[in-house]
Amino acid sequence: MLNLKDKIIAVVGLGYVGMPLLNAFSKKYKTIGYDINQKRVEELKSGVDRTLELNNNQLKEMDTFYTTDINDLKCANIFIVTVPTPIDSKNKPDLTPLIKSSESIGKALNKGDIVIYESTVYPGVTEEICVPCLEKTSGLKFNIDFFCGYSPERINPGDKEHTVSKILKVTSGSTPEIADVVDALYKSIITAGTLKASSIKVAEASKVIENTQRDVNIALINELALIFDAMNIDTNEVIEAASTKWNFIKLKPGLVGGHCIGVDPYYLTYKAEELGYKPNLILNARHINNSMAGFIANKTIKTMIDNDIKIKGSNVLVLGVTFKENCPDLRNTKVLNIVENLEEYGINVDIYDPWVDTNESNITFNHEIIANPFKNSKKYDAIIVAVAHNEFKNLKDSDYDKILNQHIIIDIKGIVNKPTWRL
């Protein structure tokens, strides 16, 4: 087996996945952190991680070289790719970041090097799309001059308990020997252990179904919420009752956004349809989950009308805009869909989120994040509690009443004591 002791590891893509991984590897190996975003690299060099995945002390302790110059990676032996794999406007996989990063790595690739991909893809992407890019720009031959591996990322943004080293890692390699090397590499930093898949395609498939399964399960709960709302039954009470059975999977209805759950299923459905199979269950689940923002917006408007509030020109406050609680991650947040639906009716919408950098929000989605509304005198016709940040869990009825014209609170997350309506 290849000796890992003196190897230099380059992590390509320094976001929510790349930085925790880089931090873990930097404790045992020489590391290089590469990103095309100059601003991001400069922030990290100055000891700031705006994703909040790493604190200042963790950044200071890292002995890592940061760069935006691909030539600086020529000394690396192992490349780990953690770039995003988004979808386009038609919900088709957008492999541009993966292709461009592969082309760049090819320029720094030397004989004997290993390229490991962590980005979520459909089965076959590593060997059928990434490898040709590496061969083209490097002039080297796959499985002769260089090798590949795939180890799907399992990072949970904002989760300080299930950190990268505490989550079991699936590994794979392009040859049996390389599979052993990749497994040993991750085993050296993952205390939870590893599982070596029989092939890269199996590892790719395992990742894409993790979030697909969760998406389908949440869609079922969301559809039940729609049904129970029509019946005037509290969905959360139903779930609490049903969950007393040992094998009931306890999930809550809500918005499905973020970097994984709302995106990954489309990678699988794309490949399935390409092969001639229509994945109706998965696609219908996606449709249900994507429709929840519109349902919540319409429910807000109906509730306001029922309380004799003029819709056009009314003021609504949305609490929270990140895709999940206690995290600054704005990727694919569905709260914005609620905001946009309300604005179509001429409603003035203010967004407050203590976890979001106001400068970052303007860059990301062109919506202003206001200062703490509970410290101002502005009154609102309704409040939507969209994200279960700890700051919002601690709010009292009196806090809401201070800034409301009437007590109209739409509670998406089940954290308000006396909401007008709860999902």
- To the question of pTM greater than 0.85 for the whole model, the response is yes
Q: Which residues contact 273 (CB under 8 A, 6 or more apart)?
A: 279
Q: Which of 106-115, 159-168, 252-261, 359-368 has the lowest mean pLDDT?
A: 359-368
Write out pLDDT tens, residues 285-338: 999 999 999 999 999 999 999 999 999 999 999 999 999 999 998 888 999 999
Percentage of the chain modeled with pLDDT above 90: 85
User: Contact at 8 Å (CB) between 88 and 94?
Assistant: yes
CATH T-level assignment (fold) for domain 293-422: Rossmann fold (3.40.50)
Q: How many angstroms separate the CA atoms of 37 and 355, rounded?
A: 22
Structure tokens at 224: 């039940």
Alpha helices in 244-365 (DSSP H): 264-274, 280-306, 335-343, 358-365
CATH T-level assignment (fold) for domain 8-198: Rossmann fold (3.40.50)
Write out pLDDT tens, residues 50-88: 888 888 889 988 999 999 999 999 999 999 999 999 999
Active-site residue flag, 133: no
Residue from 130, 133, 148, 260 carrying the catalytic annotation: 260
- Per-residue model confidence (pLDDT) at position 1: 58
Q: Domain extents for the chain?
A: 8-198, 293-422
